[in-house]
Each structure stands twice: as structure tokens, then as C-alpha cells.
Chain A
């Protein structure tokens, strides 16, 4: 039996998210100004660590992930096989119907991640991850915006953490497409990554 908590990080939404959470068994953290997804994840990580979490699962709020996948992604951690588990939409063909442009951006992204010193993964940027407490203690995200996904890979390498990719489903609804990354965002991420490497 395991106890779990759902933590929501409200990254400076104009309408505070907790107005929609009344009576729900969730914990809500609110940034007073919008900082970006990377910052929101780090806030969530720090809170989870403070609460004594053994495993942390990150789950994007735009409906692209499937709750059942949490079980598969957490399993290697519970079995003590690895320290970080990363979701991938490309490991099993046909599970996720990825739009062509998105696929191309992610293909380039995984090579960029590899070139800049992360591991060579099948998926460059997947919001579904599971992190053990030991890894949580070591990993710290300083990239406030979307470059955090690559930074996590750099951190995994830097601290020599063991990791594994696990196939997960990514749903492309109209809403998640609207919220997702485009080619232009890819260039922004690249820019952030170059700055990250320059000033550190």
C-alpha cells in the first residue's frame, strides 16, 4: 500500500487555479507571477522533497498524459532498478499518434540534447517522468522555461544517475496541441540551452 498526494503548481494563472479545486484532495502551490514550466516543476520538486516523498511523478496539466501510465512509469523505481524513469512516446509504434511536424521537432531535439551532453533518448521532451528521492535531492532545475527537459538530462548525466525510458501514451487533443510546443518554441529552447551552457 502506498500513500500518494497530488500536487498542483499554479504558475501565476490569471484566475487562481485553487478556485477550481475546492473540496478536492489536492495540494496547490501558487507562483504569484508566471515563471515557466521549469520553475513550476522545481517548486513542485522542492515541495515534494520537503513532504518526504519517496517517488515524484511529473504530469503535464494539458490532458496529454494518461493516468494509467503512472503505474508503469513508477514500477522500475519501486523495484529499485533505476533512479529516474522518463516517459517516451516513440518506444512503441502506434501508441501515440504524433503529428508530423511535432515528430520532426522532437527528432531534432533528441539529437540536440545528445550533442549538448544529455543521453540519447527516443523522446526529447516528455512531461511524464518519475524521480526517486535520491535523484530528487541531486537534481535542481534552473531553467525556468521549456529548456528544463534537457536540463534534467544534463543533471542525470552530471550526477551519474541511472535512468530508463518507458513507453507512454501521449494524446493529441485540440487543447493539448494548442498548448504544446511548435517549431518556433524549439528554437527558443535552443536559445535558452545555449545561454545555459554559456553562463554556467
Chain B
């Protein structure tokens, strides 16, 4: 086992453990997590698998395939995060606006337009 494999495996193990301790026994989530951790571990231990898949898909190296797929994934995650930020912002706006409208200071004035 090479140094990088050790490093990546430890990383995967820690991330897996981190999420595992946070999941509250929701079977589907745990299964999904196990699947992802399993895949990650498998690809790290036997990198040749990714190479085989990559050549099938017309990509030269397994590492390149992983790179392309992660770019796509990151785009997806960023968009999801943006959507969530916008929802939060709308909620904040609503609360702040309600507060502003409730506290509107009202000087009594009646003036005639010019």
C-alpha cells in the first residue's frame, strides 16, 4: 500500500465515521453512506477499477474520470447551496420586513401637494 492510499483511506474513514455518528438510525441514509464509503475505499485500494471504467467511457485515465465527475458534482452542490441561501435570505427578509412594518413610526402630517 502506497502513502497516498493510506492518506486517502484515513480521510474516507474519518469522513465516514463523522457522518455515521451524526445519522440518527435512518436506514436509507446509512445504506447510502455505506455505499459511498465502500466505493471510495474500493477505488483507493484498487485504482485499476477506475482505469477500466474510464477507458470504457473514452477517458484516458481513471484519475481524470474521477476529476471530471467531481467537477460535475461540485457544480450540483454549489447550485443546491445557492438555492438554499436564497431561501434563507427570503425568510430573513420576511422577518426583518415584518419587524420594520410593525415598528413604523407615524408622525401625523397632512400636507398639500405642490
Contact = CB atoms under 8 A, between A and B. Distances in A.
Contacts, number: 65
B97 to A, nearest CB: 5
Say whether chain A's binding surface is mostly helix, strand, loop, or mixed: mixed
B27 interface: no
Interface range, B side = 20 to 34
A167 to B, nearest CB: 19
Interface stretch (A32-40, A95-103, A117-125): A32-40
Contact of B97 (A2, A24, A42, A198): A42
B101 A46 contact: yes
B100 A29 contact: yes
A4 B114 CA distance: 10
B2 interface: no
A29 B86 contact: no
A3 B110 CA distance: 6
Say whether chain B's binding surface is mostly helix, strand, loop, or mixed: helix
Interface in B71-114: 79, 82-83, 86, 89-90, 92-93, 96-97, 99-101, 103-107, 109-114
Interface residues of A, number: 30
Contacts of B103: 29-30
Contacts of A42: 93, 97
Leading 5 A-B pairs by shortest Cβ distance: A25-B109, A2-B113, A29-B100, A43-B97, A31-B96
Interface of B: 79, 82-83, 86, 89-90, 92-93, 96-97, 99-101, 103-107, 109-114
Given A39-B96, A199-B86, 12 more contacts: A3-B113, A18-B105, A26-B107, A27-B104, A27-B105, A29-B100, A31-B96, A32-B99, A33-B92, A35-B96, A42-B97, A46-B101
